[in-house]
């Protein structure tokens, strides 16, 4: 049975003053029945990890370089993230794939780097609106998943997040049936790729997840949590999403 995870992606948002939101979240969920993770910009990882020390809320990164060190100005290695206090790292997010031309091959070596450094990789897949309209959704997510998973990948240390590109930050979300179709398909694809351990890989949904729709999304089979963008920036909003996931676990 896959563990349940509510993960927040702050993207390029947040300064030191916003650590108060992270602390407030931890205070509201001192002993959550699900895993809770915040991924701030790299400048805040160490400070957030310190601010959350002793709490149940974990800290993660938003990307890493494939190499452990070297002449890569502006990049951060997986080992550096781990040393700063990160336990997870988001990889292959659609904004990285689009804005930085990251291919599946690039994402794959980053997933390998995360494993090398002992980080949990949150591997993102998802289709554009044009791909959805063309009926290519399942082909697109299959290609991304297969191309981004290193040979010998195990369930331990892996999370997969389905984020339809057209739903990220737009306020639009797929129907429950559409989410179910993709998540069921991803579970089957994982079974082919890694065998029986596929059932232990958390499958997250991401794309305009809000307190108002979280419970409905978490009720879908094979949805083990969410990768949340804007709603994770405020403790009030993200706490409600965490509570919705805890409620789904308790049902």
Question: 225-228 and 5-9 as β-strands: parallel, antiparallel, unpaired?
Answer: parallel
Cβ pair 110, 64 in contact under 8 A: yes
Give the DSSP H or E segment for 108.
helix 104-117
> Which residues, 6 or more positions from 163, have their beta carbon under 8 angstroms from its beta carbon?
93, 94, 124, 125, 126, 205, 206, 207, 227
Query: Who contacts 155 (Cβ-Cβ below 8 Å, separation ≥6)?
Result: 194, 197, 198, 200, 201
Q: How far apart are CA 104 and CA 19, in angstroms?
A: 33
> Is 50 known to be catalytic?
no
Is 93 a known active-site residue?
yes
Given the residues 35, 127, 163, 189, the one annotated as active site: 163
Q: Which class for 75: exposed (0-12), middle (13-18), buried (19 or more C-beta within 10 A)?
A: middle
Tell me, what DSSP letter sits at residue 2? P
Q: How many CB atoms neighbour CB 32 within 10 A?
A: 21
Beta strands in 178-249 (DSSP E): 203-205, 225-228
Containing 250, the helix (H) or strand (E) segment is: helix 235-250
Tell me which of 65, 88, 93, 183 is the catalytic residue: 93
Backbone phi, psi, residue 50, to 5° = -70, -40
Which residues are marked as active site? Answer: 93, 163
């Amino acid at each position: 049975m896959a563990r349940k995870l509510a993960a927040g992606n702050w993207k390029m948002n947040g300064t030191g003053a916003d650590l108060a939101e992270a602390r407030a979240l931890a205070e509201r969920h001192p002993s959550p029945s699900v895993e809770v993770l915040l991924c701030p910009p790299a400048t805040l990882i160490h400070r957030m990890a310190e601010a959350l020390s002793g709490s149940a809320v974990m800290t993660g990164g938003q990307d890493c370089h494939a190499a452990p060190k070297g002449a890569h100005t502006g990049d951060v290695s997986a080992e550096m993230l781990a040393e700063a206090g990160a336990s997870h790292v988001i990889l292959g997010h659609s904004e990285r794939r689009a804005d930085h031309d990251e291919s599946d091959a690039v994402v794959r070596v980053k997933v390998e780097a995360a494993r090398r450094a002992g980080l949990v990789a949150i591997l993102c897949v998802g289709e554009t609106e044009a791909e959805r309209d063309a009926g290519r959704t399942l082909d697109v997510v299959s290609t991304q998943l297969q191309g981004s998973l290193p040979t010998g990948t195990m369930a331990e240390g892996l999370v997969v997040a389905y984020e339809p590109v057209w739903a990220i930050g737009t306020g639009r979300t797929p129907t429950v049936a559409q989410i179910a179709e993709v998540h069921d398909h991803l579970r089957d694809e994982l079974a082919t790729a890694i065998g029986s351990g596929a059932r232990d890989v958390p499958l997250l949904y991401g794309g305009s997840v809000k307190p108002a729709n979280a419970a409905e999304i978490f009720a879908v089979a094979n949805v083990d949590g969410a990768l949340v963008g804007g709603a994770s920036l405020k403790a009030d909003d993200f706490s409600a999403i965490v509570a919705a996931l805890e409620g789904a676990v308790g049902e």
